[in-house]
Amino acid sequence: MTLAGWVIMVLACGGFTGLLLWCVRKVVVTPEAPEHLHSQIDIDTHDKE
């Protein structure tokens, strides 16, 4: 593989891994996250029966 191929592969894999870790950290560390969790019963779809 050429040098350009290695650079693109490393940037792509590093970017994906970084985004994944940021998302996981955001979900785990955010202190007010439990207040924003809702079950299906809490969701009002405004459907008329």
* pLDDT computed for residue 31 by the predictor: 75
CA 23 to chain centre: 4
Both structure tokens of 31: 């202190």
* pLDDT computed for residue 29 by the predictor: 83
Per residue of the chain (49 residues), give pLDDT as tens. Answer: 899 999 999 999 999 999 999 999 988 887 776 666 667 776 777 777 6
* pLDDT computed for residue 42 by the predictor: 67
Side-chain half-sphere exposure of 29, counting CA atoms within 13 A: 6
* pLDDT computed for residue 20 by the predictor: 97
* pLDDT computed for residue 16 by the predictor: 98
